Structure 1
Amino acid sequence: MAEFELAPRSPLGGIRQDFGGVSLSEPAGLGIAAIAVPRGGDAALADAVRAVWGMELPTVGRYSIGTDGLRLIGMSPDQFFAVFPCEGPDAARIVATALGEAAWVTEQSDAWAVLDLEGPGVRAALERVCPLDLHPDLFAADLAQRTLMEHLSVIVMRLAEDRFRLMSPSSSALSFLHMVETSARNIVRGGDHGA
């Protein structure tokens, strides 16, 4: 009988590219866990999150930053995503241990392809495929909005002035990457590096 050894691989293979005005990279060692609020447990979860990560629960469409670089995204009234540095498939275990009975937690790390985009041309690249208005006066640094980009579901987060994080289901990771790469290449060809 043949022996096989499997090794984990990120959805985008650790890609890093620079298009001149826009660079994109798949962040390494990122864990994602979904947090659901038990019925009637809003106050208990808010207390646990405050005690463990030193932050308030974000409202839907926003994120909060806690200790250890953890970002908590408000996905719906009773669901959050915890996104944080984590090696291996332990994100759910870490979050569940931290929050105890205040939350129901499931592993999501392998379910999402994640790209960080940055540079002076990042908005010009995104505006070609993203229907959201990403102007800095409207898209604040703590927003995390769901949208469709070329028929793909994407969560868009603004991390800094010219830096965004995109999250899309890993089942369509290559289509997601192709969309972003094509848009970044097009602004370089067109000479459009403005924000």
Structure 2
Amino acid sequence: MPETSPPPEDLTGLSLAEIARLAAERKLPPVEKWNPAHCGHSDMRIARDGTWFHQGSPIGRQAMVRLFASILRREPDGRHVLVTPVEKLDIDVDDAAFVAVELQSEGEGADRRMAFRLNTGDMVVAGPEHPLRFEDKGDGPHPYLAVRGGLEALIARPVYYELANIAIDEGADPPGLWSGGAFFPLEPAP
């Protein structure tokens, strides 16, 4: 059974090493190994702001959201599903499966490391295995962080502004950010 104990409320006071350790300790079920027959739709939706709904009503218990998030998978065709060893159910996702709601940054330039806390409490350290990407959807930049197995987190607007300020302060050309030894341009890929 996946861990459902509450993660730290915020990243304040945690070093990047502590955050990376907590992220690595998070035990998730092996959803990538489960291939049950498709069983229909879950009647669930993840809104753009990260709110989880079941049959149109928000799921208020964070422990339930964390549990469902632990069995979420992205299929090769782009669909999102909740998967167990015996069933696979579609779930509607308005934008991204998660929202990055907090940033912790250490270092400067190429030595910088950035950790993000997601709306589910999960923590992800940006780098080659968890890249940042920026997409232009006609209404401004939409920043994303790769979480796992094709699942992404939309970076909340206040966190995006923090990233933009870091990039401006560092003055890279093109504007961008370093984390975990990888450079991520702020401009959308062509």
Q: What TM-score, normalized to structure 1?
A: 0.31
Which fold has the larger relative contact order, with Cα–Cα distance below 8 Å and residues 6 or more apart in sequence? 1
Q: Which has more strand, going by share of residues?
A: 2
Q: Which has more helix, going by share of residues?
A: 1
Q: What TM-score, normalized to structure 2?
A: 0.31
